[in-house]
Structure 1
Amino acid sequence: MLATRKQAERFGVDVLRSTLDHTYGGARRTYSGATLAELDRLFDEPLPETGRDPRRVMRECRRKVFRHSMQMSHPRIFGLFNPAPLPVAALAEIPVAFLNQSVDAWKAGPAATHLEMRLIRWINDRIGFGRRAFGVFTSGGGVANAIALKMARDRAAGARARRTGVPARLSRRLRVYASGQAHFSIGRSLDLLGLGEASLVRVEVDGAMKMRVDRLAETLRRDRRRGLVPMAVVATAGTTNTGNIDPLRDVAAVAGSHGAHFHVDAAYGGALLFSSLYADRLDGLALADSVTLDPHKWLFQPFSLGGLFVRSRQALSDSFRVEPGYLKKDLEAEPDRLDFYHYSLEGTRPFRGLKLWFTLKSLGRRGLGRLVDRTMEVAQHLEQEVGRQECFEPFQTPVECASVCFRYLPPGSRRMSERTLASPAMRSRLNRVQIRIQQEVERRGFAWFPTIVIGQTVFFRFGIFNYLTGPGDVDAVLSHIRRTASRLGF
C-alpha cells in the first residue's frame, strides 16, 4: 500500500533505478525472442486474493515485462513509429501520475489546462494559424483524424446534424477524398460517423507516392456533376509506408474551390515544423482547416500524445460542445474558464501535455529540431547506401521524412530486366525472400524493422525514430541483412 512517504520513496527509488538500469543497460537484442505460447504461459496465473511487497512485484516486473518488451531505446529499432523517448519526457510522466489531473474540466486541472493551452498556441504558431486557432491533445492520430472529420461532417451537414443526424438523402452523397496512401483511420472515422467507408474516395498517387492533384480535381468535378457533396479533402504529410508528403498547397487550392474542409494528417511529418532545415517541406500546411500531429512519433515523446490543431476554435466547439448539469458554467465562480471536453471526443483524460512542455522548456525548439535533423541525416545516409550497394534495390521515391524503403536482391536477380523482376512469379519469389530475411533478423534480435506491401511488392521499411541511432548502426544492419541472406541461401 505504501502508506508513508518513506515507503513510497523507497519503492520509487527501486522502480526508477530498475527502469534506468534497463534503459541504459546496453541491451544487445532488440527483443528476447519469446513466442506467443511462451508469453501466455509466463502470465498465466489466477487473480491474487492477497497482496505482497511491491518491491517483490517490481522484481517480477523486471523478469516478465522488462525482459520481454521491445527495447525501444535500442539504436537498431526501426519499427512502426515507436520512438526512443527522451528521458526528460519520460520522467515527466511521474508528476503526471501523482498529480492525476483530468484535463477535461478546468476545475479538475486548472494549471494543466493553461499549460496545454499555451502548448497548443506554440504549435499553432509553428503551423502558421492565426489567433482564432485552437486544438486539443488526444491519444493519437486516429482520434485526431476522427475529430477533424466530425468537424467536416458538421460543416457539410449543418448544425442540426448533431441533434437529428445527417439526413439519409445527404448522407448517401457525402464524400471524403484522400490518396491511396492515406492512413486507415480516415476510413474508420467515416465508419464511426455513420457515413461508411464507401464514402471515402481514394485518389491516385504518382510515382513518388504523392496525391495526384490533377486526378483530385477531375474526381471532384465528376462527383459534383453526379450530385455528390465534397465533405473533406485529406492530404497526408508523411505517409505511413514511405514518409512522403502530398503537395499541400495545390491540394488546398482544389479543396477550397469546392468548399470542402481541408484536413492534413501530419501525424508523422508534422515534426518537421520544429526543424530549421526541413520545415519548408510542409509548405501549404497553414492553408489547412485542421492538422493532426503526433508528438509521440517523431518528436520522441512517450505514448500517448497526439493532437489536433484547428484554424477555428469556434468550429471545433460547435462540433463538440455540451454542458451537463454537473458542469454548468453559471454555477462556477469563474464562468469564463475553458473546459477541454467542449472540444474533444474525450471527457476524463490524462495530463498529456506536461511531457512535451518539459521537452520544449529543456531543449527549446531549436534543440528538439536538431534531433529531428539528426534522424534525417541518418535516413539520407541509409538512402545513399542502399542506392550504392548492388544487393539492394531502393523504392523509387526520395526520402522526405525519416523513412527509407528498399528490398534485398539475391545474386541471380541483380542482372534481370525490370520486366523480368516485375513478373508475377519473380515478384512472388522476391517477396518471400524479404519476408524470410526480416523474420530471421527479428528472431535473432539483432534489429527490428517491418516489411510493408506497396502495390504487390514487399519492401523493408526503416524508420529512424531514435535520436541516438547513427550511420554506423544502419551500416551494421545492412551488413547483417547480407549475411542473413547468405546464410538462408538467398
Structure 2
Amino acid sequence: MSLSPAAVVAGAYFPGPRSENETWVRGEFQAVLDQWFDWRKSLFADDPRLVGPADRLSPGRLERREILSRELAELCEALTAETPTYTPRYIGHMKAEVSLPALLGWLAAMLHNPNNTSREASKVGTVIEAEAIAMLATMVGYDPARAEGHFTSGGTVANFEAVWRARYRLDHWLSLGLHIAEKTGEPLDVFASAHMGWTRFRELWAEHGLTDAVLRRCSAAIGVPADIWRRIGRAAGRDYMGPVLLVPGNKHYSWSKAANLFGLGEESLWAVGLDADGRLDVDDLERLMRRAETEDRPVLMAVGVAGTTETGEIDPIDALHDRLEQWEADRGLHIWRHVDAAYGGFLCAILGGPDEDVLSRASASALRAIGRADSVTIDPHKLGYVPYACGAFLTRDRARYAVSAFDAPYLDRPELGDGKWSSTLEGSRSAAGAAAVWLSGRTIGFDP
C-alpha cells in the first residue's frame, strides 16, 4: 500500500510516537555534536589546552561530573511528568509535537548561542533570521522582497510590536496636525489628522517647511504625554481622551496587557461584537469606528484574529480589509490593520493545495486576505511544530516596520550592517528559533 504524501512527511520529519525514528535521530544528534566539537578543536589549533588528560581524570573533576550526571538524570526523570504532546492520545490546543527539522535546527544554533541583537553578536543567526522571516512572509501572502520582521518570544510580544509601530505612525500624523493647528489657529480635527496617511503627511510637511525638531515638540511619544494631550484638547476645542484599540470580544489577554503597558488605559480597549459563530462582526467594527470619530478618539489599530484562543475560529479578515480600505478610498482615513494569526497563521500553508477543502470558503478567503494587513503575528511554536519560545512579527514593508530611534553607541556601528536591536522590544534574542524555522522551511516547507 502506498503512503500519502502527508504520511511520508510525518514519518520522515517527526520522532514518531513510539520513537520509530530513534536510530536516525540519534545519528543526526551525534553528527551535530561531532561537527560542533570538531569546530571548537580546529578553529584555533595552536592554542594551548586548558585542561590536560590527567586533570580531566582528577578525583575532584570526576566527583563534579558525577554530581552533574546525577542531577541531570533527576531532571530528565522529573520531566517525564510533563504532558506527552507527542502521542496520538493527546488532542491538545495550540501545543503539539516538535518536528525533527525544528529540533535539529534549534540544537545546532543553540550550541553556538548567537544573539540576534546585532550582526556583530550573530553573524550567521541574523542572516538565517532574515531568510526565515521571508519564508513566513511568503506563506501569509506578503511579498518577501518587501516584508520586514523578526522573531520574538511569542505572540504576546509580537502583538506588542504591532502596537508600538501603530503608535509610531499615529503619533507622527497627529503631531503634524497639532503643529499646524497651533501655528495657524485653525481647529484641530483629531480623527482626520491621526489617520491622514503618509502621502498627505509628506504634502503638509513640505507645505509648512517642517523639521524633525519641530515635530518632536508635538509628539506624545517623545514629550510629556499629559502636556501634549492637553495641547491637543485645547487645539480641538474639547478634552482629548487618547486613542482606542478595536479588538474582537474574544480577544487574547495580550491586548489587555498592551493597553496597560503602553499607558492607554483599560477603557481604551474597545471590544468588537461577535457573530453567532464567535467571529468578529464587521458592522460592529464600523459602529465603533464611527463612535471613535464622534468622540475625537483615533483608532490606534483594528485587529482581526486567525485562530481564536477559545475555539480556533477565523475572523472575516477579508471583510475587515474591505471595510477599512473603503474608508481610505472614500475619506482618506488610514487605520492600522493587524492580524493576530499566532495560532492559525500556518493554516495559510494549506491554501492552493489538494487539501484546501478542509477549510470553509469563508476561512480560506479570510486566510488569503492576511497579506493585506499592515502587520501580522504568527507563532511557529504552535502549528509550526517549533520548540518554545518562538513567535514572529511581520510587516508588509519597511515603512510599516519603522519605530522610534534609540541610541546605543556600543551597538550602532555602520560597518557591521543593520542590526535589529533598535527595532525590537526585546534586546537579546536567541537565533535558535529562527534556525528551527529556517530548517523547517528548507525541508518540510511552508506550502501545501
Would the TM-score normalized by the shorter structure come out above 0.5?
Answer: yes
Superposition pairs of residues 199-218 of structure 1, within 5 angstroms: 199-218=268-287
Q: Per the alignment, in what secondary structure is the counterpart of residue 136 of structure 1?
A: strand
Asked if 1:164 is matched to 2:223, the reply is: yes
Distance 2:393 2:306 in 1: 14
Q: Is the 8 A contact 2:341 2:376 kept in 1?
A: yes
Give the aligned residue type for 1:224: E
Q: Is the 8 A contact 1:83 1:300 kept in 2?
A: yes
Of the three residues 244, 261, 264, the one matched with 1:195 is 264
Q: Per the alignment, in what secondary structure is the counterpart of residue 91 of structure 2?
A: coil
Q: Is the 8 A contact 1:301 1:355 kept in 2?
A: yes
Query: Displacement, 1:240?
Result: 0.6
Distance 1:181 1:21 in 2: 35
Q: Per the alignment, in what secondary structure is the counterpart of residue 60 of structure 1?
A: helix
Of the three residues 314, 317, 327, the one matched with 1:245 is 314
Which residue of the partner structure matches residue 325 of structure 1? 409
Which residue of the partner structure matches residue 341 of structure 1? 421
Q: 1:298–1:22: structure 2 CA closer, same or farther, 3 Å change rule?
A: closer
For structure 2, list consecutive stretches of 5 or more residues without a partner in the other structure.
Answer: 1-14, 22-62, 173-215, 233-239, 328-332
Which residue of the partner structure matches residue 266 of structure 1? 341
CA RMSD of aligned residues (A): 2.4
Percent same amino acid at aligned positions? Answer: 29
Q: Is the 8 A contact 1:23 1:73 kept in 2?
A: no
Superposition pairs of residues 419-458 of structure 1, within 5 angstroms: none
Query: Displacement, 1:125?
Result: 2.2
Query: Displacement, 1:214?
Result: 0.9
Query: Displacement, 1:280?
Result: 4.4
Q: Is the 8 A contact 1:141 1:293 kept in 2?
A: yes
Q: Is the 8 A contact 1:255 1:261 kept in 2?
A: no
Which residue of the partner structure matches residue 415 of structure 1? none
Give the aligned residue type for 2:335: A
Q: Per the alignment, in what secondary structure is the counterpart of residue 314 of structure 2?
A: coil
Distance 1:304 1:126 in 2: 20
Which residue of the partner structure matches residue 120 of structure 2? 107
Listed one character per residue, the Cα deviations across residues 350-395 of structure 1 (whole Å, up to 9, x for unaligned) are 11210111112122334xx4xxxxxxxxxxxxxxxxxxxxxxxxxx
Query: Displacement, 1:58?
Result: 2.5
Query: Displacement, 1:185?
Result: 0.5
Asked if 1:175 is matched to 2:244, the reply is: yes
Q: Per the alignment, in what secondary structure is the counterpart of residue 382 of structure 2?
A: helix
Which residue of the partner structure matches residue 353 of structure 1? 434
Query: Displacement, 1:52?
Result: 4.5
Which residue of the partner structure matches residue 219 of structure 1? 288
Query: Displacement, 1:21?
Result: 11
Distance 1:270 1:77 in 2: 22
Q: Is the 8 A contact 2:245 2:269 kept in 1?
A: yes
Query: What is the aligned length?
Result: 319
Which residue of the partner structure matches residue 365 of structure 1? 446
Query: Displacement, 1:305?
Result: 1.0
Which residue of the partner structure matches residue 55 of structure 1? 69
Q: Per the alignment, in what secondary structure is the counterpart of residue 63 of structure 1?
A: helix
Q: Per the alignment, in what secondary structure is the counterpart of residue 239 of structure 1?
A: coil
Structure 1 runs (4+) deviating above 4 angstroms are 20-23, 278-281
Q: 1:281–1:254: structure 2 CA closer, same or farther, 3 Å change rule?
A: closer
Which residue of the partner structure matches residue 385 of structure 1? none
For structure 1, list consecutive stretches of 5 or more residues without a partner in the other structure.
Answer: 1-19, 27-49, 370-490
Q: Per the alignment, in what secondary structure is the counterpart of residue 393 of structure 2?
A: strand
Give the aligned residue type for 2:223: T
Specify which structure has the bigger relative contact order, considering alpha-carbon pairs within 8 angstroms and separated by 6 or more residues.
2
Which residue of the partner structure matches residue 298 of structure 1? 383
Distance 1:93 1:188 in 2: 29
Task: Calculate the TM-score normalised by the size of structure 2.
Answer: 0.66
